[in-house]
Structure 1
Amino acid sequence: MLGHGLISWLPAWLVLRVIVGLGMMCQYMVIESWLNEQAAAKQRGMVFSGYMIASYLGLVLGQLVLVVHPQLGPELLMLVALCFALCLVPVAMTRAIHPAPLHPAPLEPRFFMKRVPQSLTAVLGAGLIIGSFYGLAPVYAAEQGLSTEQVGLFMGCCILAGFLVQWPLGLLSDRYDRSVLMRIFAAALVVASLPLALFPSVPVEVLFGVGFLASLMQFCLYPLAVAFANDHVEAERRVSLTAMLLMTYGIGASIGPLAAGVIMKVFGGHMLYAFVCGAAAILVLLIRPKAVTHLHQVENAPLHHVAMPDSMSSSPLVVALDPRVDEQVVQDQMQTTVEPEPEPEPETVAEAEAEPAASTQVVEEDERERESETWKA
């Protein structure tokens, strides 16, 4: 990072950017693998919410630095390098359980494409959308007439949306089907981005408001896809899975700015959000919750079934509420009539009534004999 302030030659900057990108990818891979190893599946949504909150908080603060220090000088690069160095201190001082020693893990792209195809599709789409946003949203905001400070505020506002949505997203992710949530948020992103995609120029208030809403949706896709993928992969393969997800996201984040940049150059800056709408619409079509079989779902993953109160546990209708039971079998069992118990015969009833009376008479005779013997004595 410090090399950027020492060299102004563009080819050297490209090499330095590649090195920085590789370093950040390795950091993300280690962090996410560590979190996935330590987090139970029923709490993975909340754990990833905390992880994404910390990440987006740093991004928001980074954008706000541009407001405080709009002059783009080497001081900002030194600040970033200082932050990279300081972030190692809490890791070195933590008493938390460190991840198990890593073994060489093959990438296995074919295996993951068969096991978690919808997660990879969602991660690729998230890379296209978020990569184009980070790379070209400042250009779009500048074309709308915003100053450098206002561009920083716009980016900070959008990233703040991703920060705020992570905690409720974690609660939803641990309670509902994650594939359904991915499709819902992709559809909501299409609707939220339409105003900025249709109009070449919008007022500043609309720009900030609609940009905030669109960012609420777009920053939900990646954590949902990652949590959904980890629900269907064994623990020993999660390092390879994390690498596969990050590589897929990186491919999308590399292609997104290039493709959206060409479209913006030809048709105008507002085509950035048209590109976002198109990518989100494709995700809506490709993510199919009904195609998820849950055959490879890990043992501690949350079950997606009908929740029933404890009072229903003894009811004969409880089986009918269980989606795992064949409905036809339930109907056949409910239609089966129970044979009535045979009524007792009159003679048997008379004998049963006579037995208590006879026993009472015997008791009375015994008492009379005792009294007579007493008087004789």
Structure 2
Amino acid sequence: MHRIWKSFRALYFATLLMLIGSGLLSTYLGLRLAADKVDGLWVGALMAANYFGLVIGGKLGHRLIARVGHIRAYVACAGVVTAAVLGHGLTSLLPAWLVMRMLVGLGMMCQYMVIESWLTEQADASQRGQVFAGYMVASYLGLVMGQLVLVLHPGLGPELLMLVAMCFALCLVPVAVTRKIHPAPLHPAPLEPRFFIKRVPQSMTTVLVSGLVIGSFYGLAPLYATSQGMPTNQVGLFMGSCILAGLLVQWPLGWLSDRHDRAVLIRSTAALLALAALPLAIMPQAPLEVLFPVGFLVCLLQFSLYPLAVAFSNDHIEADRRVSLTAMLLITFGVGASVGPLLTGALMKLLGPNMLYAFVCFCAAVLVLRVRPDAVTGLHRVDEAPLHHVPTPDNMTSSPLVAALDPRVDEKSIHDQMQSGDAQPSGDASTTETGERPQAK
């Protein structure tokens, strides 16, 4: 692991700086609007705009990198993101903030794609899992450190925006001075949405619900914590502990995922999530001794849904389609994360801040009803399934290229998928993850 860290330390450090800035910016904007007595609908809209930018950035990033190259694309997007961050301090017009938040998401997605394509090309096939783990640790550590900045500096002045801009400016340095060979040009993998909706419907539903929940959490948890009477430094601790839960759960989750039925795990996790979030959903005001442990437990569970869905879907998709599958899952996640903050923000405005966790309970209950382990017949289960579980970061910290770091994906299939962006779907798409054929109309 030391040799891997030494080989990729520049890219890991760039990722760390990016996520410190991104994590701090998300929480800062929520707290700033809460201090200005802006309702939760606008706070949710800002997070929705960020995820919308991430989704469209996944498409535009390929074109930009193909046109100007990896380093130029990274530098250009870092410049746009830095300017957009500073723009929040120049105006208080919320529609302008929406545009700038979308630009931050779009630019960061392109930056993710540059870093991940570099990691993919430079990592040996035998090391991809360890390289991926290092990237995930750098990502989550950056998000946690971004929250801890608020503990050390609880003020909500423009100096925090300057610190965010400084992180995005400094993340240019390790990429700009790297001596590593430039990656090959990128080619987008085909999405084939109809095929995946029919083949892995329960996984797609789980990913969509995960996006609804996690998007709402990142956008509105700071507002919820403020409504509970927490000062800024305690909000930073609350957010940091919740995000840390997402990192800590990955390794025990992987152990369980490789040994037990993944459909059962998804349904059980959803049921436990509904129960865990229920106390905060029914309590308008929660004491700190309840809020911190329950919030930590809720995040342990909600950050487990996406990795389980990724592993479950990979068990039912052939190797040559797994790059496309990951791109489709991340887009589905992004759509959910764009809609979730808007719905939750409206509910919080109408019925109170505890609606954040009521929404989590509702989403978890939908999964309990929708995911049916007994319906999985294994008709399309791949020969080597169950595939080894890989801890997967959420869409805050990854791009569609993250599939290429997955050791379950064959290197030849990565190359074939990236070269066949206009490939047509093949095979029988009339069957589903459950092994059931749709009824004839």
**TM-score normalized with structure 2 length:** 0.60
2:86 counterpart residue number: 5
Give runs of aligned pairs for residues 56-71 of structure 1, distance below 5 A: 56-71=140-155
Residues of 2 paired with 1:24 and 1:241: CA distance?
Answer: 21
User: Which structure has the bigger radius of gyration?
Assistant: 1
The CA deviation at 1:261 is: 1.4
The CA deviation at 1:105 is: 2.5
Matched, 1:171 2:255: yes
The CA deviation at 1:172 is: 1.7
- Which AA in structure 2 matches 1:218? Q
Match of 1:109 among 186, 193, 204: 193
The change in CA–CA distance for 1:28 and 1:226 in structure 2 (over 3 A counts) is farther
1:274 counterpart residue number: 358
The change in CA–CA distance for 1:84 and 1:299 in structure 2 (over 3 A counts) is farther
What is the CA deviation profile of residues 309-360 of structure 1, one whole-angstrom value per residue up to 9, with x for unaligned ones? xxxxxxxxxxxxxxxxxxxxxxxxxxxxxxxxxxxxxxxxxxxxxxxxxxxx
CA RMSD of aligned residues (A): 3.2
Give runs of aligned pairs for residues 76-155 of structure 1, distance below 5 A: 76-84=160-168, 89=174, 102-155=186-239
Match of 1:239 among 323, 344, 362: 323
Residues of 2 paired with 1:25 and 1:114: CA distance?
Answer: 28
Which consecutive unaligned segments of at least 5 residues does structure 1 have?
305-377
Which secondary structure state, in structure 1, belongs to the residue aligned with residue 379 of structure 2? coil
1:260 counterpart residue number: 344
What is the CA deviation profile of residues 214-273 of structure 1, one whole-angstrom value per residue up to 9, with x for unaligned ones? 111111011111222233223333332222111111111111111111211222111111
- Which AA in structure 2 matches 1:107? L
2:277 counterpart residue number: 193
Q: Say whether the 8 Å CA contact 2:189–2:324 is kept in structure 1.
A: yes
The change in CA–CA distance for 1:182 and 1:50 in structure 2 (over 3 A counts) is farther
Residues of 1 paired with 2:118 and 2:375: CA distance?
Answer: 30
Q: Say whether the 8 Å CA contact 2:86–2:165 is kept in structure 1.
A: no
1:250 counterpart residue number: 334
Residues of 1 paired with 2:165 and 2:104: CA distance?
Answer: 11
The change in CA–CA distance for 1:94 and 1:106 in structure 2 (over 3 A counts) is same
The CA deviation at 1:64 is: 0.7
The CA deviation at 1:196 is: 0.6
Q: Say whether the 8 Å CA contact 1:48–1:223 is kept in structure 2.
A: no
- Which AA in structure 2 matches 1:224? L
The CA deviation at 1:303 is: 7.0
Which consecutive unaligned segments of at least 5 residues does structure 2 have?
1-80, 389-441
Which secondary structure state, in structure 1, belongs to the residue aligned with residue 382 of structure 2? coil
Residues of 2 paired with 1:184 and 1:91: CA distance?
Answer: 46
1:203 counterpart residue number: 287
- Which AA in structure 1 matches 2:82? L
The change in CA–CA distance for 1:81 and 1:94 in structure 2 (over 3 A counts) is farther
| Percent of matched pairs sharing the same residue | 70
Q: Say whether the 8 Å CA contact 2:191–2:325 is kept in structure 1.
A: yes
2:308 counterpart residue number: 224
Residues of 2 paired with 1:168 and 1:202: CA distance?
Answer: 29
Give runs of aligned pairs for residues 25-64 of structure 1, distance below 5 A: 25-26=109-110, 52-64=136-148
Q: Say whether the 8 Å CA contact 2:212–2:336 is kept in structure 1.
A: yes
Q: Say whether the 8 Å CA contact 1:67–1:152 is kept in structure 2.
A: yes
The change in CA–CA distance for 1:107 and 1:153 in structure 2 (over 3 A counts) is same
The change in CA–CA distance for 1:179 and 1:90 in structure 2 (over 3 A counts) is farther
Which secondary structure state, in structure 1, belongs to the residue aligned with residue 295 of structure 2? helix
Matched, 1:22 2:106: yes
The change in CA–CA distance for 1:92 and 1:167 in structure 2 (over 3 A counts) is farther
The CA deviation at 1:152 is: 1.1
- Which AA in structure 2 matches 1:219? F
1:213 counterpart residue number: 297
- Which AA in structure 2 matches 1:272? L
Residues of 2 paired with 1:98 and 1:236: CA distance?
Answer: 25
Give runs of aligned pairs for residues 255-334 of structure 1, distance below 5 A: 255-302=339-386
Residues of 1 paired with 2:313 and 2:115: CA distance?
Answer: 16
What is the CA deviation profile of residues 96-121 of structure 1, one whole-angstrom value per residue up to 9, with x for unaligned ones? x9987643422211011011111111
Residues of 2 paired with 1:278 and 1:231: CA distance?
Answer: 28
- Which AA in structure 2 matches 1:275? F
**TM-score normalized with structure 1 length:** 0.70
Q: Say whether the 8 Å CA contact 1:36–1:230 is kept in structure 2.
A: no
Q: Say whether the 8 Å CA contact 2:238–2:292 is kept in structure 1.
A: yes
- Which AA in structure 1 matches 2:356? L
Residues of 2 paired with 1:173 and 1:259: CA distance?
Answer: 31
The CA deviation at 1:191 is: 0.9
Which secondary structure state, in structure 2, belongs to the residue aligned with residue 211 of structure 1? helix
